[in-house]
Amino acid sequence: MSQATIILDRESMTLVLDRLASQVMETLNCQDLLLVGIERRGADLARRLAGLLKEKSGQTVHLGTLDINLYRDDWTSIKDAPVIGTSHIPVDITDRTVLLIDDVLFSGRTIRAALDALLDYGRPRAVKLLVLIDRGHRELPIQADYVGKSVETSLGEQVSVLLSERDGEDLVRREEL
């Protein structure tokens, strides 16, 4: 693999997440909001955002996680059987605003799978999307409502998000495949 380009370091990621939390507070009612992080790093980001929203608003925001492996449109073509995790949706989503959270928005297929999985829990009033990185190259008509950073990439590159909870450091990097 060739040299990696740092997109966000720890300090800039902290600033981006703080800005995203402020934007969410300005536009959504935290009282009926349910944050749902897509496993794995989306769930880690959702936990951080829940903490930031509580710190800024004084309100505890409901927090859930969603495993989408059974809903992927490529699971039959994956070499090994998909590893099925668990989802945790702590409240009824019917008539609630759901903020779906993921680390990187690319083709849109992960978000499509997440929407399918989410509807198994009820019919939300609205579903909004927050991503840390939007790298373009959509294959489906899906756009994020809240974007930490938009990054131009080629199809020959990948964007990796590292989070201290899982990886021991906070870092986003772009590198050639």
Question: What CA–CA distance (Å, rounded) separates 177 from 164?
Answer: 24
> What pLDDT is attached to residue 79?
57
Write the pLDDT tens digit of every residue in 69-92.
877 665 555 556 556 678 999 999
Mean pLDDT of the chain: 92
Question: What CA–CA distance (Å, rounded) separates 68 from 60?
Answer: 25
Going from N- to C-terminal start, the domains of the chain cover 27-74+82-155
> What pLDDT is attached to residue 146?
98
> What pLDDT is attached to residue 85?
77
> What pLDDT is attached to residue 14?
98
Cβ neighbours of residue 40 closer than 8 Å, sequence gap 6 or more: 166
**For the chain, percent of residues with pLDDT exceeding 90:** 86
Q: Which pair of tokens denotes residue 78?
A: 């994956």
Give mean pLDDT, residues 40-62: 96
User: Residue 101 in contact with residue 38, Cβ under 8 Å?
Assistant: yes
Write the pLDDT tens digit of every residue in 2-15.
689 999 999 999 99
Question: What CA–CA distance (Å, rounded) separates 35 from 42?
Answer: 10
Is pTM, for the whole model, over 0.75? yes
For residue 33, which amino acid is it?
A: L
Give mean pLDDT, residues 15-34: 96
Write the pLDDT tens digit of every residue in 98-145.
999 999 999 999 999 999 999 999 999 999 999 999 999 999 999 999
Eight-class DSSP state of 80? S
User: Residue 130 in contact with residue 20, Cβ under 8 Å?
Assistant: yes
User: Residue 35 in contact with residue 50, Cβ under 8 Å?
Assistant: yes
> What pLDDT is attached to residue 70?
77
* DSSP-derived 3-state class of residue 59: coil
Q: How confident is the model at residue 149 (pLDDT cuts 50, 70, 90)?
A: very high
Q: Which CATH architecture has domain 27-74+82-155?
A: 3-Layer(aba) Sandwich (3.40)
Higher pLDDT, 45 or 78: 45
Question: What CA–CA distance (Å, rounded) separates 77 from 88?
Answer: 27
